[in-house]
Amino acid sequence: EGSWEALYRVVLLGDPGVGKTSLASLFAGKQERDLHEQLGDVYERTLTVDGEDTTLVVMDTWEAERRDESWSQESCLQVGSAYVIVYSIADRGSFESASELRVQLRRTHGADHVPIILVGNKADLARSREVSVEEGRACAVVFDCKFIETSAALQHNVAELFEGVVRQLRLRRRDS
């Protein structure tokens, strides 16, 4: 396996304010902040999952102010080895946006089986919940993708999210 396959780009998509940057920061870990400032909103880290190392490059480049000229929204939709579509469980509008993003990805990637993970973030905001767990799960079935609820605030399920991304990428590698 060449070094090209060893490195995967994971693009975070979703409405402003749903928690993309918070999830990316937790992925990056605090010690490496200096390095990440130089890299902008692109975070690289090697995860050991099921005894095997995989390097993910997580891109928090969806929103205009976090992009330079090299990352248009169009290119964000094209460069991913995998996509994490984030909504907030306390914001129904962001859940509806997630569906639109899924449609856009299908348009860009066609029949390619690019792993997609639907993420209901802010699971800690139980009293403001506008999207039930069941709705999230049902949506993922329609999307043909994985689903997880996270809380960046409580650091709940964030490691599991990125480990899940790694597992999905490996499954795809074996299929192709």
**By the criterion CB under 6 A, which residues form the site for ligand GDP?**
14, 16-22, 121-122, 124-125, 151-153
Q: How far is the CB of 42 from ligand GDP (least distance, A)?
A: 14
Number of H helices, E strands in the chain: 7, 6
In the complex with ligand GDP, the residue whose CB is nearer, 17 or 93, is: 17
Q: How far is the CB of 24 from ligand GDP (least distance, A)?
A: 8
Tokens of 32: 């490496």
Report CA torsion sign: 41, 77, 55, 156: positive
Nearest CA to 130 out of 142, 117, 115, 120 is that of: 120
In SS3 terms, 90-136 reads as CCHHHHHHHHHHHHHHHHHHCCCCCCEEEEEECCCCHHHCCCCHHHH
Tokens of 62: 């969806």
Helices 158-175 and 20-28: angle between axes, nearest 10 degrees: 80
In the complex with ligand GDP, the residue whose CB is nearer, 54 or 152, is: 152
Neighbour tally for 110: CB within 10 Å: 8
In the complex with ligand GDP, the residue whose CB is nearer, 54 or 76, is: 76
Q: How far is the CB of 3 from ligand GDP (least distance, A)?
A: 30
Q: How far is the CB of 23 from ligand GDP (least distance, A)?
A: 7
In the complex with ligand GDP, the residue whose CB is nearer, 79 or 125, is: 125
Q: How far is the CB of 158 from ligand GDP (least distance, A)?
A: 9
In the complex with ligand GDP, the residue whose CB is nearer, 54 or 87, is: 87
